[in-house]
Amino acid sequence: MKSTKKILEFICLFLLTSCVAKPILIVKSADMMQANHSALLVMDVQNGIVQRFAEKPEVMVPFQRAVSSARRAGIPVIFVRVAFRDGYPEVSAKNKMFSAITEHGNMTISDSSTQIHHSVAPLPDEPVVTKLRVSAFAGSDLEVILRARGIDKLILTGIATSGVVLSTLREAADKDYGLVVLSDACLDADPEVHRVLVEKLFPRQADVLTVSEWADTLPQQGDKADHQKTDSK
Protein backbone atom coordinates (compact mmCIF):
# COMPACT_ATOMS: atom_id res chain seq x y z
CA MET A 1 0.00 0.00 0.00
CA LYS A 2 2.78 2.40 0.88
CA SER A 3 4.50 1.64 -2.41
CA THR A 4 1.30 2.27 -4.36
CA LYS A 5 0.76 5.53 -2.46
CA LYS A 6 4.25 6.77 -3.32
CA ILE A 7 3.74 5.91 -6.99
CA LEU A 8 0.47 7.86 -7.04
CA GLU A 9 2.13 10.84 -5.32
CA PHE A 10 4.93 10.77 -7.90
CA ILE A 11 2.44 10.69 -10.80
CA CYS A 12 0.45 13.60 -9.32
CA LEU A 13 3.63 15.63 -8.82
CA PHE A 14 4.77 14.90 -12.37
CA LEU A 15 1.43 15.98 -13.85
CA LEU A 16 1.36 19.11 -11.72
CA THR A 17 4.84 20.27 -12.72
CA SER A 18 4.19 19.45 -16.38
CA CYS A 19 1.08 21.64 -16.51
CA VAL A 20 2.71 24.70 -14.95
CA ALA A 21 4.05 27.09 -17.57
CA LYS A 22 7.77 27.47 -17.27
CA PRO A 23 8.99 31.03 -16.98
CA ILE A 24 10.30 32.67 -20.14
CA LEU A 25 12.88 35.38 -19.75
CA ILE A 26 12.93 38.07 -22.40
CA VAL A 27 16.30 39.73 -22.49
CA LYS A 28 16.91 42.89 -24.43
CA SER A 29 20.27 44.51 -24.67
CA ALA A 30 20.48 48.22 -23.85
CA ASP A 31 21.65 48.93 -27.38
CA MET A 32 18.68 47.12 -28.92
CA MET A 33 16.17 48.84 -26.66
CA GLN A 34 17.68 52.18 -27.62
CA ALA A 35 17.66 51.32 -31.32
CA ASN A 36 14.01 50.28 -31.20
CA HIS A 37 12.98 53.77 -30.09
CA SER A 38 15.29 55.74 -32.40
CA ALA A 39 14.96 56.98 -35.96
CA LEU A 40 17.48 58.37 -38.43
CA LEU A 41 16.25 61.54 -40.12
CA VAL A 42 17.77 62.27 -43.52
CA MET A 43 16.68 65.85 -44.14
CA ASP A 44 16.63 67.92 -47.33
CA VAL A 45 19.00 65.52 -49.09
CA GLN A 46 17.11 66.16 -52.31
CA ASN A 47 18.31 66.85 -55.82
CA GLY A 48 17.84 70.61 -55.85
CA ILE A 49 19.85 71.02 -52.65
CA VAL A 50 22.51 68.34 -53.15
CA GLN A 51 23.41 69.85 -56.54
CA ARG A 52 24.91 72.83 -54.73
CA PHE A 53 27.70 70.47 -53.66
CA ALA A 54 27.99 68.69 -57.05
CA GLU A 55 31.67 69.51 -57.36
CA LYS A 56 32.37 67.42 -54.25
CA PRO A 57 30.48 64.11 -54.64
CA GLU A 58 32.47 62.62 -51.77
CA VAL A 59 30.44 64.70 -49.30
CA MET A 60 27.57 62.23 -49.76
CA VAL A 61 29.57 59.28 -48.38
CA PRO A 62 28.78 59.99 -44.68
CA PHE A 63 25.07 60.14 -45.51
CA GLN A 64 25.29 56.78 -47.26
CA ARG A 65 27.15 55.27 -44.30
CA ALA A 66 24.61 56.62 -41.83
CA VAL A 67 21.70 55.16 -43.80
CA SER A 68 23.34 51.76 -44.25
CA SER A 69 24.32 51.60 -40.56
CA ALA A 70 20.78 52.40 -39.46
CA ARG A 71 19.31 49.77 -41.76
CA ARG A 72 21.70 47.09 -40.50
CA ALA A 73 20.79 47.92 -36.89
CA GLY A 74 17.06 47.90 -37.58
CA ILE A 75 16.70 51.64 -36.95
CA PRO A 76 13.93 53.27 -39.02
CA VAL A 77 15.13 55.69 -41.67
CA ILE A 78 12.83 58.61 -42.39
CA PHE A 79 13.49 60.99 -45.27
CA VAL A 80 12.37 64.61 -45.12
CA ARG A 81 12.10 66.94 -48.10
CA VAL A 82 10.73 70.42 -48.71
CA ALA A 83 8.18 70.69 -51.52
CA PHE A 84 5.05 72.64 -52.43
CA ARG A 85 1.86 72.23 -54.43
CA ASP A 86 1.64 73.72 -57.91
CA GLY A 87 0.97 77.41 -57.56
CA TYR A 88 2.63 77.54 -54.12
CA PRO A 89 -0.51 78.09 -52.03
CA GLU A 90 1.52 77.35 -48.88
CA VAL A 91 4.04 80.15 -49.49
CA SER A 92 3.43 83.54 -47.93
CA ALA A 93 4.69 86.65 -49.66
CA LYS A 94 5.86 87.80 -46.22
CA ASN A 95 8.27 84.87 -45.94
CA LYS A 96 11.55 86.22 -47.31
CA MET A 97 13.18 82.81 -47.81
CA PHE A 98 10.35 80.87 -49.37
CA SER A 99 8.68 83.64 -51.37
CA ALA A 100 11.81 83.73 -53.53
CA ILE A 101 11.13 80.12 -54.59
CA THR A 102 7.91 81.12 -56.33
CA GLU A 103 9.88 83.27 -58.74
CA HIS A 104 11.98 80.35 -59.99
CA GLY A 105 9.10 77.96 -60.64
CA ASN A 106 10.54 74.81 -59.10
CA MET A 107 10.44 72.95 -55.75
CA THR A 108 6.97 71.54 -56.41
CA ILE A 109 6.00 68.08 -55.19
CA SER A 110 6.54 66.45 -58.59
CA ASP A 111 9.59 68.47 -59.61
CA SER A 112 12.91 66.63 -59.90
CA SER A 113 14.48 69.12 -57.48
CA THR A 114 12.39 67.81 -54.59
CA GLN A 115 13.10 64.10 -55.10
CA ILE A 116 15.47 62.35 -52.68
CA HIS A 117 18.98 62.11 -54.09
CA HIS A 118 19.79 58.75 -55.67
CA SER A 119 22.83 58.22 -53.43
CA VAL A 120 20.53 57.63 -50.45
CA ALA A 121 17.45 56.38 -52.27
CA PRO A 122 14.67 55.34 -49.86
CA LEU A 123 13.57 51.72 -49.69
CA PRO A 124 9.88 51.03 -50.43
CA ASP A 125 8.94 50.87 -46.74
CA GLU A 126 10.84 54.01 -45.70
CA PRO A 127 8.64 57.11 -45.39
CA VAL A 128 9.35 60.31 -47.27
CA VAL A 129 7.93 63.23 -45.30
CA THR A 130 7.12 66.49 -47.06
CA LYS A 131 7.54 69.68 -45.03
CA LEU A 132 6.62 73.26 -45.88
CA ARG A 133 9.18 75.32 -43.97
CA VAL A 134 12.69 74.90 -42.57
CA SER A 135 12.07 72.56 -39.62
CA ALA A 136 11.25 68.94 -40.42
CA PHE A 137 8.15 69.32 -38.24
CA ALA A 138 6.77 72.42 -40.00
CA GLY A 139 3.67 71.56 -42.01
CA SER A 140 4.51 67.83 -42.08
CA ASP A 141 3.17 64.64 -40.54
CA LEU A 142 6.57 63.71 -39.09
CA GLU A 143 5.42 63.83 -35.48
CA VAL A 144 2.44 61.58 -36.24
CA ILE A 145 4.81 58.98 -37.73
CA LEU A 146 7.17 59.22 -34.75
CA ARG A 147 4.35 58.77 -32.25
CA ALA A 148 2.90 55.84 -34.18
CA ARG A 149 6.25 54.07 -34.02
CA GLY A 150 7.00 54.93 -30.40
CA ILE A 151 10.13 56.86 -31.38
CA ASP A 152 11.56 59.22 -28.79
CA LYS A 153 15.13 59.65 -30.01
CA LEU A 154 16.19 61.26 -33.29
CA ILE A 155 19.50 60.98 -35.12
CA LEU A 156 19.83 64.06 -37.29
CA THR A 157 21.53 64.41 -40.67
CA GLY A 158 20.85 66.95 -43.36
CA ILE A 159 21.57 69.91 -45.58
CA ALA A 160 22.05 72.55 -44.37
CA THR A 161 23.52 72.53 -40.89
CA SER A 162 22.34 76.11 -40.35
CA GLY A 163 18.95 75.37 -41.89
CA VAL A 164 16.96 72.18 -41.45
CA VAL A 165 19.35 70.63 -38.93
CA LEU A 166 19.40 73.66 -36.63
CA SER A 167 15.64 74.29 -36.87
CA THR A 168 14.72 70.64 -36.36
CA LEU A 169 17.12 70.23 -33.43
CA ARG A 170 15.64 73.27 -31.65
CA GLU A 171 12.04 72.15 -32.15
CA ALA A 172 12.75 68.50 -31.32
CA ALA A 173 14.55 69.52 -28.13
CA ASP A 174 11.51 71.57 -27.08
CA LYS A 175 9.38 68.47 -27.72
CA ASP A 176 11.67 66.46 -25.40
CA TYR A 177 13.13 64.09 -27.99
CA GLY A 178 16.53 62.62 -27.29
CA LEU A 179 18.92 63.91 -29.94
CA VAL A 180 22.09 62.91 -31.75
CA VAL A 181 23.64 64.98 -34.53
CA LEU A 182 25.98 63.23 -36.96
CA SER A 183 28.43 66.03 -37.62
CA ASP A 184 29.95 64.71 -40.85
CA ALA A 185 26.51 63.89 -42.27
CA CYS A 186 25.56 67.56 -42.13
CA LEU A 187 26.60 70.07 -44.77
CA ASP A 188 26.59 73.83 -44.96
CA ALA A 189 27.70 76.29 -47.61
CA ASP A 190 29.62 78.13 -44.89
CA PRO A 191 32.17 75.80 -43.21
CA GLU A 192 32.69 78.21 -40.32
CA VAL A 193 28.98 78.33 -39.52
CA HIS A 194 28.94 74.53 -39.62
CA ARG A 195 31.90 74.33 -37.24
CA VAL A 196 30.43 76.75 -34.71
CA LEU A 197 27.10 74.92 -34.68
CA VAL A 198 28.46 71.38 -34.25
CA GLU A 199 31.19 72.38 -31.80
CA LYS A 200 29.52 75.05 -29.69
CA LEU A 201 25.75 75.18 -30.10
CA PHE A 202 24.48 71.67 -30.84
CA PRO A 203 26.23 70.00 -27.86
CA ARG A 204 23.98 72.01 -25.53
CA GLN A 205 20.96 70.00 -26.68
CA ALA A 206 22.31 66.91 -28.44
CA ASP A 207 25.11 64.39 -28.51
CA VAL A 208 27.34 65.27 -31.45
CA LEU A 209 29.10 62.30 -33.05
CA THR A 210 30.64 61.37 -36.36
CA VAL A 211 28.90 58.66 -38.36
CA SER A 212 31.65 56.19 -37.43
CA GLU A 213 31.39 56.99 -33.72
CA TRP A 214 27.63 56.57 -33.82
CA ALA A 215 27.79 53.34 -35.83
CA ASP A 216 30.15 51.86 -33.23
CA THR A 217 27.41 52.24 -30.59
CA LEU A 218 24.87 50.23 -32.60
CA PRO A 219 24.16 46.49 -32.29
CA GLN A 220 25.97 44.48 -34.93
CA GLN A 221 24.25 42.99 -37.93
CA GLY A 222 22.70 39.65 -37.04
CA ASP A 223 21.92 40.56 -33.44
CA LYS A 224 18.44 39.56 -32.33
CA ALA A 225 16.14 41.88 -30.47
CA ASP A 226 14.87 39.18 -28.17
CA HIS A 227 16.75 36.27 -26.63
CA GLN A 228 14.48 33.72 -25.01
CA LYS A 229 15.77 31.52 -22.23
CA THR A 230 13.69 28.78 -20.68
CA ASP A 231 14.28 27.78 -17.08
CA SER A 232 14.90 24.07 -17.19
CA LYS A 233 14.51 23.67 -13.48
CATH of the domain at 42: 3.40.50.850
Q: Which pLDDT value is given to residue 54?
A: 83
Residue 11 lies in a domain: no
Residue range(s) defining the domain that contains residue 49 = 28-220
Confidence label for 140 from pLDDT (cuts 50, 70 and 90): very high
- 116 pLDDT above the threshold of 90: yes
- 230 pLDDT above the threshold of 50: no
Residue 42 lies in a domain: yes
Residue 185 lies in a domain: yes
Task: Give percent of the chain with pLDDT exceeding 90.
Answer: 73
Residue 84 lies in a domain: yes
Residue 151 lies in a domain: yes
Q: Which pLDDT value is given to residue 6?
A: 55
**What Å distances lie between residue 104 and 1, 46, 99, 100, 184, CA to CA?**
101, 17, 10, 7, 31
Q: Which pLDDT value is given to residue 153?
A: 98
The phi, psi pair for 82, rounded to 5°, reads: -110, 130
For the stretch 178-219, pLDDT in tens is 999 999 999 999 999 999 999 999 999 999 999 999 999 998
Residue 100 lies in a domain: yes
Q: What ranges make up the beta strands (E) of the chain? A: 24-27, 38-43, 77-82, 128-131, 153-159, 178-187, 207-209, 227-230
Q: Which pLDDT value is given to residue 20?
A: 43
Q: Higher confidence at residue 82 or residue 106?
A: 82
Residue 175 lies in a domain: yes
Q: Which pLDDT value is given to residue 36?
A: 67
Q: Which pLDDT value is given to residue 120?
A: 98
- 228 pLDDT above the threshold of 90: no
Split into its structural domains, the chain has a count of 1
Q: Which pLDDT value is given to residue 231?
A: 37
What is the helix (H) or strand (E) element at residue 12, kind and residue range? helix 2-19
Q: Pick from 34, 27, 24: which is nearest to 73 by CA?
A: 34
| Residue 192 · residue 217 · CB < 8 Å | no
Q: Pick from 100, 102, 66, 97: which is nearest to 84 by CA?
A: 102
Q: Which pLDDT value is given to residue 84?
A: 97
Kindly report which listed range (1-15, 26-40, 72-86, 118-132) carries the lowest average pLDDT score: 1-15
Residue 124 lies in a domain: yes
Region 74-82: mean pLDDT is 98
